[in-house]
Structures are given as structure tokens and as C-alpha cells.
């Protein structure tokens, strides 16, 4: 089970996320994101053993991803661009982000070599996440690990889990007081609701 808080930009939010039950925290290395963080700043944010450190990337070369992963002590690369298996870094697991829109077919990703598919809502021309939910029933019955993202908060995460039966959930924008700054009450409420829905 993955409980991920993404868009971490400071130690206070990381500490609160882990204290609330998050077992994965995400750092956004997409330069055009309002939650962008440098590898050096991400490296300075501490997290305890057992908490996955996930880097969000968009159309970066594998060697550059591996370099940032080393600098920021990442455990996983979350790829939001047009990467294929040749664009995966060899040094760490990959979560491949996929936009769920009209005509989405989960079976089309059966041969994807990623550790997990991160299913995200529609975003138009935006990259790296837009905070919009999708039809969670489309994620049900997957033969591989699925992480549900996009527009999740305490009010809807239990329904998302009930319909999608995912390996994990990932939230960001609806848990913020401003881009890159978490509202701790919303974050803790989301994590509590997710844990309860997963039966933890």
C-alpha cells in the first residue's frame, strides 16, 4: 500500500506527512511546475527509512534522472512525459504516469515495464499533474500495481479506493494552502481517510 504526498518543498511539510502516515513523498523536478524543487533542496529534506522518496520528471533523459536521483536520494522515478522503456533510468524503479481520458484502455499498458502505473486525471496541455479526478472504475481489475492520483482529498479518497482497488493513492494540490505549501489539517485528513479505506 502506497500513501503518497506529492509536491513536497520543505522539511515541515515532509515531517507532517510522515507523521500523518505517508510512506512516500514526492519532489517535483519539472522546471515549469509551481512546486519545482532543486535536487539540492530536496536532498536537504530528511525522511526516515522506509519512506519512499519519489522524483517527478517530465521528458528528462535517463542519465539526467539518474544524476538527480543520486543527488536527492531518490528511491523511485515518476515519469509524466512521453517516455517509453528506452527512457527509463536503469538505476531505480519507475512509476509511469498515464492520463485517463476518453478511450482509455488499461489493457494497452500490459507490457509496460514500470513497477506501477500512476493513473492521473485529465490535464489539457499541462504536465506533471493538474488535480482533476477521473472515472476511478476505469482502474479496477488491473493486473499490475496501480496508483490513483488526480483531485484526491479526504472527501473522495475512500470512494476512489473502493472503486479502483489500487496499490496506492497520491495527492497534492487539494491538500495545499498555496502551491508547494501543504495545509497540514487537509493532509492529515486525507491520510487518515486513505488508511481507513485500505483497512489499516
In angstroms, the Cα distances linking 42 to 35, 38, 56, 70 are: 12, 6, 12, 11
User: Three-state SS for 122?
Assistant: coil
First-to-last C-alpha distance (Å) of the chain: 10
Give the chain's largest Cα–Cα span. 42
Question: Rounded distance, CA 30 to CA 50, Å?
Answer: 25
Residue 181, Cβ density class (10 Å: 0-12 exposed, 13-18 middle, ≥19 buried): middle
- Helix axis angle for 11-19 and 184-197, nearest 10°, is 30
Instruction: Give whole-number Cα distances, 22 to 18, 32, 48, 82, 194, in Å.
Output: 5, 26, 11, 28, 10
CA angle (77, 82, 88) in 5-degree steps: 40
Q: Which residues are catalytic?
A: 6, 120
Amino acid at each position: 500500500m502506497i500513501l503518497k504526498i506529492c509536491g513536497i518543498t520543505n522539511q515541515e511539510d515532509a515531517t507532517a506527512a510522515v507523521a500523518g502516515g505517508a510512506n512516500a513523498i514526492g519532489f517535483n523536478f519539472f522546471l515549469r511546475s509551481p512546486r519545482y524543487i532543486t535536487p539540492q533542496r530536496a536532498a536537504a529534506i530528511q525522511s526516515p527509512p522506509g519512506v519512499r522518496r519519489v522524483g517527478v520528471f517530465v521528458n528528462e533523459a535517463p542519465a539526467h534522472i539518474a544524476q538527480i536521483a543520486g543527488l536527492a536520494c531518490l528511491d523511485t522515478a515518476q515519469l509524466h512525459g512521453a517516455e517509453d522503456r528506452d527512457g527509463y533510468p536503469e538505476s531505480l524503479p519507475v512509476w509511469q504516469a498515464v492520463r485517463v481520458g476518453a478511450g482509455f484502455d488499461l489493457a494497452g499498458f500490459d507490457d509496460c515495464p514500470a513497477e506501477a502505473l500512476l493513473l492521473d486525471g485529465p490535464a489539457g496541455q499541462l504536465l506533471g499533474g493538474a488535480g482533476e479526478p477521473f472515472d476511478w472504475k476505469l482502474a479496477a481489475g488491473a493486473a499490475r500495481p496501480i496508483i490513483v492520483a488526480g483531485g484526491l482529498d479526504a472527501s473522495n479518497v475512500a470512494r476512489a479506493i473502493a472503486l479502483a482497488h489500487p496499490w496506492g493513492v497520491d495527492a497534492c494540490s487539494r491538500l495545499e494552502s498555496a502551491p508547494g505549501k501543504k495545509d497540514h489539517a487537509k493532509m492529515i485528513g486525507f491520510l487518515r481517510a486513505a488508511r481507513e479505506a485500505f483497512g489499516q
